[in-house]
Structure 1
Amino acid sequence: MKDLKKVENSELIEAFIENDFATEVFSQLSKEFAKVGVLIEFKEEELISFESFRNRLSDEIELIMRSSPNRIDQLLYVTDLPEGKVKAVFSENENPVAELSKMLLMRTAQKVNFRRQYKMGLL
């Protein structure tokens, strides 16, 4: 089962190369940030790969954590990240913000991918 999860995750990461997919993920992420009162703006070149997207998102999350820590909790709730996994990220990682950014992107990418499959009648 874990191998299947790794395959799904790697396919989602590769999908970020597709410009439309990255744009859809950013749009969904923007909506979720807006629900907690945070406006995010990324340049198109920051969406060209999973890594550049994650790095830019890490910067945003770090800024929010410093300026308004309670919004991060709200954001994690809105994005539907499991609380136990989030706590583990902060206790087990040297760079928890980067890992949290990856989790947010993967969760949002899953939502976008699910919505795409549903629209195509694959689900």
Structure 2
Amino acid sequence: MLGIDDAAFLSAALRRLIEVSAQRGGRAVPRVYELEHQLASAAKCSVEGTSEWLDEPRPAVSEMQLIETSTAAARLGVSDRNVRALAARGTLTARRVAGRWLIDADAVEERSQKRGNQLP
């Protein structure tokens, strides 16, 4: 089990990895974004909603649980192309990272519920 300090440290390290990757024209795999978000949330919740352990504000991309286009497509019962089109139009909340769409998992769940789909 990780302590608060360890979770905060790992979250900050992953944020830095994401930043450096972007500066060098690369991208981190979606799982890195997911882990950073989970660690930041765990540490933040553990200190009762304060963010005093953060050295800098979290990047906007880490405010979401991000999933790949193919995962979103499977959950929505549509094609990857359809998910990319929804993201490009702004109909589905997503971020473009190094040429790839990363989709907000909450937006996928919300859209799925509106359409009456059951998530796998």
- TM-score after normalising by structure 1: 0.32
Higher helix share: 1
Task: Answer 1 or 2: higher relative contact order, Cα 8 Å, separation at least 6.
Answer: 1
Higher Cα Rg: structure 1 or 2?
2
Higher strand share: 2
- TM-score after normalising by structure 2: 0.33
